[in-house]
Amino acid sequence: MKIKLVKLNNISNYEQWLQQTVSNLDLSFGLSANLLNLLHERDALGSVQISEHVIMPHIVTHEITESIVIVSQLIKPVSYFTSNGINTAIYIFSCPDDSSIISLVNCLIDEKIISSLQDPTLSSKELKKLSNLSVGEKDAF
């Protein structure tokens, strides 16, 4: 599984955020378009907001060979469904039956971790460290 931190400026709406995130995956145009379509289909099912300022869009697809998690921070918040203050997203692009995603999600949905993910000073190194925490280590964080 790959995990990546992306900090974005000049994003004015949720659609632009989705497009920029998918382009950060460095995939072929066709695959990128398919993943973007899957994210739209997921959004059609309802909100993926997990905290006041955080969303967790997630899809499962056979089209990728390795699961990818992107933690994306915005300088300026955007509107999402009924919220106007979303500034952090945890985008999950999962291969089917990837059990490591379940462990990671269980770690990342902890309130302390969510708070850390929203910190504008978060580095890629710190994100990697956070993503490797087990449940017991999370409590000591």
* CATH number of 95's domain: 3.40.930.10
Domain containing 66 equals: 2-136
Contact 86/79 with Cβ under 8 angstroms? yes
Structural domain contains residue 79: yes
Structural domain contains residue 141: no
Return the pLDDT at 106. 87
Torsion angle, alpha carbons of 106, 111, 112, 115, to 10: 110
How many domains, in total, are found in the chain? 1
Express each pLDDT in 90-138 by its tens digit: 999 999 989 889 888 888 888 999 999 999 999 999 998 888 774 444 4
Contact 32/21 with Cβ under 8 angstroms? no
pLDDT score of 139 more than 50: no
Return the pLDDT at 84. 86
Return the pLDDT at 83. 87
Express each pLDDT in 53-68 by its tens digit: 999 999 999 999 999 9
Structural domain contains residue 59: yes
Contact 98/69 with Cβ under 8 angstroms? no
Structural domain contains residue 49: yes
